[in-house]
Amino acid sequence: MTTQIALDASQKLFELAGTSSALGHLGFDRHWRNARTHTLHDPIRWKYKIVGNYWLNNEYPQRHSFI
């Protein structure tokens, strides 16, 4: 859910501020880039697998940096 919220919030920033908000010197595009980088760094399919494995098999997730 946080993946979608982060992307929606940054998209709304562009919608509210207009096309000039995409100008590089303003730096508003960094919010979208940062959100996208984080969502791609830890793919949501891993989170589904980890949460499902916990609820279905009562297995705690392994300690990794991607969780």
pLDDT per position as a tens digit, 36-64 = 787 777 677 778 888 899 999 999 888 76
Q: What is residue 8's predicted lDDT score, i.e. its pLDDT?
A: 85
pTM of the predicted model over 0.85: no
Residue 37 tokens read as: 């980088």
pLDDT band at 65 (very low <50, low <70, confident <90, very high): low
| DSSP single-letter state for residue 41 | H
Give me the mean pLDDT over the 14-26 stretch: 80
Q: What angle do CA 20, 25, 26 make, to 5 degrees?
A: 55
Average pLDDT value for the chain: 80
